[in-house]
Structure 1
C-alpha cells in the first residue's frame, strides 16, 4: 500500500512506538499486584522445581556412597543431617524432594490464577477502551474502514495480547529462572563442566536475534491478512441475500478463497521461520546435553579430568548435571513459541494503539453549551463541507434558516448532498466552512449528548438490533415504560402488526431485524424517534421502504409529530413534501432553488421537472383512500389480504 493509499488507521499504526512497553505502562501498572503475585509465585515455583535433581545428586554422593558430606548451596550446615546416619540423610532427601514438588504445584496454581487475572483484565480494558475510542471517531473513519477490520482489532488483536500476557510471560519467566537457576547450581557444583554445558548459550542468543528480525515483518503481514479475511467474510455474510438472489455463490466463494489463500501464504511464510528456528534451538540444547554427557562421562569413567579441565567429578554431581541439562532443553526449545507470541502481540499492539491514536475529527470544546429546552431555530450559515481536508467539496455555500416549528424539505437528484447536509446538524461530520447553529449556538460549541438528544434522526438505512421489538423501540430511551412504547408504536402505525407477532412486543426480530419486512423495520425506527420526542426532527427518506398506502398512514403520524417541532424532510417522492413550509432544491452540493411547492412549480426549474417526472399534477389523496389503506393493512395482518409493506 502506497503512502497515498494509507488510511488514518494505517498511518497512526505505523507511528506506534514501543507498543508492548506502552501496553504495560497504560494498562498494566494499575494491575501490578496481580502481576507481582504471579511473577513471584512463578519464580519461586521454578526455583523449587530445580531442587529435586540437586538433592538427588547430593544424596547419591552423601547418603548412598558416603563419599561426600551432605551439603546444600546457601543452606547452613547446622540445618542439615551432616553427621546423621545415612538413613536419616536419605529420608531428609525424600521429604525435601516431596516438599519441592508440593511447593512447585501450589505456587504454579497461584501463578496461573494471578497471571490469568492480570492478562484478562488487561484484555478487557484494551477491548473496551478501543471500542469506546472507535465510537468517538467521526463517520469519516467508518466511511474509509471496513467493519471486518475493526472487528479484527477488537477481537483477534485483543485476544493475541491476552495470550502474550498469559502464556509468553509465563514461559519467559520460566526460561529466565531456569537458565539463571541452572547456571548458578551448575557453576556451584562444578564450574568447569558448567562452562562446557553452557557454551552453546551465546550461539542460541545470536540465533534468536536473527529469528526476531526476520519474523517481525511476517507477523505484521499476517495480522493484516487476518483483517482482510474478516472483512471479506463479514461482507459475504452480510450480503447473503444478494448473493443468493443473483446466483453469485461461486463468485463469492472464489473471493473468500483468494483472501483465505493470501492469509494462508502469509501464515506459512511466518511458520517457515519457526520450522527453522525451533529445530535449531533443539539442536543447540541437544548439543549442550550431549557435550555434558561426553565430557562428564569420560571424567567419571577414566577418573581423570579430560583436556584442560582439572579436579574431580563425583557421580552425584554428574547425575545432577544430566538432569538439569535436560531441564533446560525444553524451555530453550520453546523460545520459538515465546518469540512468536511476542511478535504476534507486537503486531496486534500496533494495530490496537494505531486505532486509539487516531485523533477525533468531531471534538467538544472545553466547556460546551448544554442545550436545554430547544426552541428549534436552525441556521446553516454559508456552509461548505468536504469529507477530507484536501478533498473535493461536496457542499458549497449552503445558506438558509429555519424558524421554530417549520418544516423544510430537501429534494434533488441522488448525490446532491441532501443526507450529508443534515448529518452536519447532528455533527456526524463537521463543516469545513461556515457554521450550523441551533438556537443561535454553533453546534461545535454544544455538547454532543445534548445536541443529539435534541435531534431525532430517522435514516433511510434502517438499523435494528438483535433483540425484542420493545427493546428496539426503547433504544435511546431505556427508562420508557410499556405504555409509552405502545403509544410510540401506535403513532408510527406499527402497533397493529406488532400485536400480531407471536410474542407481541417481546418478539425477537433477529440480527438487523431480518424477521420483519422492510416497511415494518422502518415503522419501528420511526416509533423509536417518536419515543425520543426530540425538539428537531430529521426524516431522511423515512418512508422509502413502504408502499404508497402504508406511506399515507405513516405520513399522517409524521405530520402530527412534526406539528410542534422543527422538521427536516428528505424525500424522493415529492408528493410527500409539497406541503412543507419551504422546499430547498439541491444539485451538485449547492442550493439551486428554494420556495414553496407552488412557487417552485411556477418557476419551471429543476423542481418542476422532478415533479413532472414523478407525479404530474396529482392532487392530495382523499380521506377515503386513507381509510381503505387502513382496511387493507388490517386484512394483511389477519392473513386475508395481500402484503402492503414491500
Structure 2
C-alpha cells in the first residue's frame, strides 16, 4: 500500500496488477506472429540440438560395440538402414543435420524475437511518452524529470530484455528439461530418476530466491530514478552550481544517490551470487550422481538396488544430455533476474501510463474557431490539492483590450492565465472565450488561439528558424523572417555567422536571455493568435533589451486581447485595465491613473518602484 507521502505516480504504480501479463496482453498479442515464429524456431532449434548426442550413443551401441540395435525414438525402424556402414554414414548425416537445424533455428529465433521485443519496446516507450504528454501541469509540478526519463528509457529497456531474452530463455529451459527428461526416461527410467532427483530442490530454491529478491529489485529501480533525477538537476543547473561554487556539494549529493544505487545493487547481487552457485551446485550434484551410478552400473552391474542393463551408448547419452540438462538449470538465475527486474520496471511504466489527466477533453468538445477574443472569468476558484490559490475571480475583457495583472509574488497572477490555457482546470466557476467555456472546446484549438510567452522561454536544441517555426512547422522562410522582424529579432539573427540556421544549443544556451525572449515572441507572431499572454516577459533583461522587447510586444499585441503579467509596473501602465491580485483575490481594478487615485495596493507598489518610498509595508512582505 502506498504511504501518505507518496506522489500520485507512486500510488498508481502500487496499484498495477501483474504488469508483465498486462505487457504481453496489450503489446505482445498484436505482434503474436513474430512471437510465435520466434518461439517455433527456438523450439525446433533447441530440439534439434538434442539429436547429436542421441545419435552418437545409438551409433556406439549398434556400430562400434554391437551391444544394441540401431533405433531412434519416434523413428520407424523401416526408415533406418540395416548395414553398419550405412548406419555410420546415416549417423554422420543426422549429426550434421542436427547442428545445421540448430544454427538455422537460432538465427530465425534471434531475428523474429528481436523484431517482436524491440517492436514492443518502441510502442511502450512512445505510448508512455504520449500518456505523459497528456498529463496536466500538476503532474510535472510534482515529478522529477530524471525519474520520468528513467521510466521512458531504462524501464522500457528492461521490458525489452525480458521479452527478448527471458521468454526465449524460459522456453529453452522448458524444452531442454522436458526434452532431455523424456529421452532419459525412455532410455533408462531408473537412471533418469537419479538424474532428476534434485530438480524439486532446485524449484524450491528458485521460489525462495524470487520471494527474497523481488523487493530488492523495486528498490534498485527507484534508486535508478533518484540518481537520474539528481544528475539531471545538477546538469540543468550547472550555471548556478558554478557561480555559487557548490561543485563539491552537488558532487556529494550525486555520490549519495549513487551510493544508494550501489547498496541496492549489491543487495541484489549478493543474493544472486548465493543463488547462482547454489543452483550450479545442485545441478552439478545431479550430474555427479548420474556419472557415479551409471559408471558403477557399467563396472559391476546395477548398484543400490537398481535392476536391468545399461549399455555404453546409453551411458554416453546420459553423460552428454545431463550436461545439457545442468546448464539451463544453472542459468535459471538469469531468468529470475530478468523477470524480477522487468516486473519492477513494468510497475513503473504502467504506473505512469495509469496516472489519469485531470484536464480532459469533453466527448462533445467542438473546435474554437473565429475567435474575437472576449474573455470572462466568472467566480473562478482554484487550488493545488487542498490549498486555494485563487478564489472568486471575476472580470471581463473585451476583444482587443489589454489587461495587466500585478501583485506581490505568489498572488496567483500566472495561475490566472494558465487556467485560460487549461494547463489546469478550475475547481469552481468558469473561464470563457467568446461566451464558450474553455472546457467545452477542443484543447488543441483553444491553445492555438492563445499565444503564450513566459518569463523563461524554452528553446529546443536546433536552429533559430526551427525554434521560431515550432508549432507552425509548414511556415515559409519568408514568414519566419517577417515574424522575427516584428519581434525585433531579425537584426541580431542576421548578424550571426549562420543566420537563421544558427544552432541555439540545449535550451538556447548559446543566446542571451533577451535574444531568447525575442525569439519566443517571434514564435508567437508566427502563430498569429487571437489572444496573447505575456508572463513576466521583460523581468530578467537589461533596460535596452526591455525597450526592444516592449516595442515588439506593443506591435504584437495591437488588435489582440492581451494579458500582461508584470512586476515592473511600467510595463502595464498603459493597459486598458489593471487587475491587482493579493492572496489569490482581485483586490483592485482600473486604469493606471484610477488605481493611483485609489491610493491602495497598486499605488504602494508604484511608489516603491518609483523610489518614492524605500520598502514594501510588512503585509506585502508577508504575502511574498
Query: Secondary structure, in 3 states, of the residue corresponding to 1:275?
Result: helix
Match of 1:217 in 2: 215
Displacement of 1:369 in angstroms is: 1.9
**Per-residue deviation, residues 179-217 of structure 1 (Å, max 9, x unmatched):** 010011001111110011000100000000000011000
One of 276, 279, 289 as aligned partner of 2:277: 279
The Cα of 1:565 is off from its aligned counterpart by 1.1
Which secondary structure does the structure 2 equivalent of 1:328 belong to? helix
* Residue correspondence of structure 1 range 414-429 to structure 2 within 5 A: 414-429=409-424
Contact 2:2 2:14 in 1 (8 A): no
- C-alpha displacement of 1:3: 1.7
Distance across 2 between alignment mates of 1:441 and 1:3:
41
Q: Distance in 2 between matches of 1:408 and 1:63?
A: 100
The reply to whether residue 605 of structure 1 matches residue 603 of structure 2 is: no
Asked if the contact 1:57–1:316 (Cα under 8 Å) also holds between the matched residues in 2, the reply is yes
Give the distance between the partners of 2:252 and 2:2, measured in 1 at CA: 26
Q: Give 1:322's match in structure 2, choosing from 316, 319, 324.
A: 319
Give the SS at the match of 2:540: coil
Q: Write the distance in 2 (CA, Å) between the matches of 1:197 and 1:555.
A: 85
Give the match for residue 66 of structure 1: 66
Match of 1:462? Answer: 457
Distance 1:552 1:516 in 2: 18
Contact 1:458–1:526 (8 Å) recurs in 2: yes
SS of the residue corresponding to residue 3 of structure 1 reads: coil
- Residue 184 of structure 1: aligned partner: 182
CA shift, 1:557, in A, is: 2.2
- Give me the whole-angstrom Cα distance separating, in 2, the residues matched to 1:520 and 1:556: 14
Q: Distance in 1 between matches of 2:610 and 2:153?
A: 51
The answer to whether residue 366 in structure 2 is matched with residue 369 in structure 1 is yes
Does structure 2 retain, via aligned residues, the 8 Å contact 1:409–1:583? Answer: yes
Q: Distance in 1 between matches of 2:439 and 2:3?
A: 31
Taking the aligned partners of 1:264 and 1:548, their CA distance within structure 2 comes to: 50
Instruction: After superposing the two structures, state which structure 1 stretch, 284-293 or 608-617, moved more.
Output: 608-617
CA shift for structure 1 position 284: 0.7
Q: Tell me if 1:573 matches 2:568.
A: yes
Whole-Å Cα distance in 1 between the matches of residues 486 and 555 of structure 2? 9
Task: Identify the residue that residue 514 of structure 2 maps to in structure 1.
Answer: 519
Q: Which residue of 2 aligns with 1:644?
A: none
Q: What's the CA shift for 1:608?
A: 0.4
CA contact (8 A) 2:380 2:393 kept: yes
Residue 17 of structure 2 aligns with which residue?
17
Output the TM-score relative to the length of structure 1. 0.94
1:336 aligns to 2:352 (yes or no): no
Q: Which residue does 1:434 correspond to in 2?
A: 429
Q: Give 1:169 deviation, angstroms.
A: 1.3
Residue 544 of structure 1: how far off its partner (Å): 2.2
Task: Work out the CA distance in 1 between the residues paired with 2:297 and 2:119.
Answer: 53
User: Using the alignment, how far apart are the partners of 1:2 and 1:102 within structure 2?
Assistant: 53
Equivalent residues in 2 for 1:386-535, closer than 5 Å = 386-388=383-385, 391-535=386-530
Q: Distance in 2 between matches of 1:372 and 1:442?
A: 13
Q: Distance in 2 between matches of 1:502 and 1:513?
A: 16
CA distance in 2, matches of 1:8, 1:307: 64
Q: Distance in 1 between matches of 2:71 and 2:274?
A: 43
- Structure 1 residue 87, shift from structure 2 partner: 1.7
Q: Distance in 2 between matches of 1:45 and 1:22?
A: 29
**What is the CA RMSD across the aligned residues, in angstroms?**
1.0
TM-score after normalising by structure 2: 0.97
Which region of structure 1 is more displaced relative to structure 2, 115-124 or 161-170? Answer: 161-170
Q: Which digits, 9 at most, give the CA deviation of each residue in 1:524-543, with x for residues without a partner?
A: 11110011000000000112
Question: Do 1:413 and 1:586's aligned partners in 2 also have CA atoms closer than 8 Å?
Answer: yes
- In the TM superposition, residue 616 of structure 1 has moved relative to its aligned partner by 5.6
Query: Secondary structure at the residue paired with 1:88?
Result: helix
Q: Take 1:166 and 1:31, find their aligned partners in 2: how far apart are those partners?
A: 13
Report what 2:622 is aligned to. none
Aligned partners of 1:148 and 1:228 also within 8 Å: yes
Unpaired stretches in structure 1, ≥5 consecutive residues: 618-646
Distance 1:169 1:2, change over 3 A: closer
2:557 matched residue in structure 1: 562
Q: Which moves more between the two structures, 304-313 or 182-191? A: 304-313
Structure 2: distance between partners of 1:378 and 1:594:
16
The answer for the alignment partner of 2:380 in structure 1 is 383
Question: For 1:584, what is the secondary structure of its paired residue?
Answer: strand
Residue in 2 that maps onto 1:636 = none
- Please state whether the residue corresponding to 1:252 is helix, strand or coil: helix
Please give the alpha-carbon distance, in whole angstroms, between the structure 1 residues aligned to 2:521 and 2:560.
Answer: 15
- Among 139, 142, 150, the alignment partner of 1:141 is 139
Structure 2: distance between partners of 1:189 and 1:9: 57
Give 1:174 deviation, angstroms: 0.7
- Note if contact 2:2-2:11 (Cα within 8 Å) is conserved in structure 1: no
* TM-superposed deviation, 1:2: 6.7
Structure 1 position 59, deviation (Å): 0.4
Which of 113, 121, 124 does residue 122 from structure 2 map onto? 124
Q: 2:617 — aligned with what?
A: none
